[in-house]
Structure 1
């Protein structure tokens, strides 16, 4: 199959998904606007529209394209995208990359069709991923297919801290109750050593802290084997940690403090001292909350200048 034919078939499937998810409005905008939205040529869009008219999904009347019927999955062309699980992981990684590398900042607008094109995934994958963040107030849906990354109010950090504390303290108690031969104890020892190695090289590697931070909190929460915990963790991790990345002020110092606090928690865990581990975790979560509040304050001060 030629590259142009593959692109055309991918675009047909994306177009169908956009119709079903009410991303497109009718009558359709001009071919030029559609070509720009789907990041393809006008020739490709014309071929897509022609195909959908033949399938009696669209009707061309008075120089406008109208919706004749709702498309179904049977209207799609088979074997275009990768498996759904692969697409989900690919887009999640890409979205986190955009935030972590400051390609997507608070207040920025972005288009879900363009994101789907950039990552070569189904637009439904993008929309469902973004809807998860919508519930947590991380993004706003401006209009069909258009989103905005939110700039938080200062009390947001306090509310998120309360929720995070409940989750992680509960999970830590469950972690401490695991049998001595559980594999998580080995993971904790390995993670402690990784932190100590990172601390030695933090002058040069402090910007790489995000992976270590994610692994630390993930280890604590994963012992419950609770999918709701892990879903919440993904969102909280992005909101808390990447606010550090948006604000470079004292980033090295803040990450250095966070590493030391992680080490204190892990050390207490491995000593089987539950009270000390919970106290150390509470200190760490409070530090993270304070850092986020200060970061939000600086961002708002800049915005209001």
Structure 2
């Protein structure tokens, strides 16, 4: 199936959902308004309206399209079987992955339609996500439907790590006070073993550290039992990876240092030494902050 056909079928499904959920009322808005709402061309709007007219969902009266009946599932297509919530979750994961894999970099421009086609979700899902994401001051809305990734400065990095320090130090204090039978103690022990195993091959396998890093910080934050902590750290992780402009040597050295710092924190945790664990965590966060600042300076050079 061509991308154009797939897009048209997606829009048909989205318009059906909008009618069912009461977001579109009879008579429908003008074609120009619909094109703006769904961030699509008027040609795609016309194809969508023609399909729904042929199915008997819409009727054209004095130049306007009115709703004749409530649409059914069979009036749409099977190209998207996921709900809007599922599409949003899939797009969010894909968007973060594109940043972490450096498919989107500081200064890059893109359109909502490009991302919708690439990830196979509704353009409405893309726009709503980007509007929410824009509150982190990481993207600029250049004009309707077009965005640009922003370049950050040292002040932004320092504010970011101030927040990260508050979140993780609080989570650490909660972790120390977990009951002995809590399964996270066993997870921490297993994670320390995994770090030691990677240390033996880090010279060649340093790229594998990224998953250990995610597991480590996720385990630490889990002790806070706060969903908003996890959401904030997800964004921090995106920003952190987004602005790393190191060459392979720098990345290798940074991963070696971070791994040793993780092991120091985990060892102190397992020994129930809260003061040493807190000190090592602060050292680890300062190392990460300085690394990000260096990366930003390289990016601006």
Deviation at 1:60, TM superposition (A): 10
1:104 aligned partner: 104
CA contact (8 A) 2:168 2:220 kept: yes
Alignment: residue pair count: 280
Deviation at 1:234, TM superposition (A): 0.7
1:39 aligned partner: none
Could you tell me how far apart the structure 2 residues matched to 1:119 and 1:130 are?
14
1:291 aligned partner: 291
Q: Which runs of 5+ in 1 are unaligned?
A: 36-41, 62-66
Could you tell me how far apart the structure 2 residues matched to 1:100 and 1:266 are?
25
Instruction: Give the root-mean-square deviation of aligned CA atoms.
Output: 3.6
1:92 aligned partner: 92
Pick aligned residue for 1:34 from 33, 41, 47: 41
CA-to-aligned-CA distance 1:88-129 (integer Å, 9 cap, x gap): 443233223322332111000112222122112233432343
Could you tell me how far apart the structure 2 residues matched to 1:186 and 1:7 are?
48
SS at match of 1:215: helix
CA contact (8 A) 1:17 1:123 kept: no
The two structures have a TM-score, normalised by structure 2, of 0.79
1:64 aligned partner: none
Deviation at 1:7, TM superposition (A): 5.7
The two structures have a TM-score, normalised by structure 1, of 0.78
Q: Which runs of 5+ in 2 are unaligned?
A: 25-30
Deviation at 1:49, TM superposition (A): 4.2
Q: Is the aligned partner of 1:211 residue 2:195? A: no
Residues 68 and 4 of structure 1: CA distance in aligned 2, closer, same or farther (over 3 Å) = closer
CA contact (8 A) 1:172 1:221 kept: yes
1:38 aligned partner: none
Deviation at 1:4, TM superposition (A): 9.4
Q: Is the aligned partner of 1:191 residue 2:191? A: yes
CA contact (8 A) 1:81 1:122 kept: no
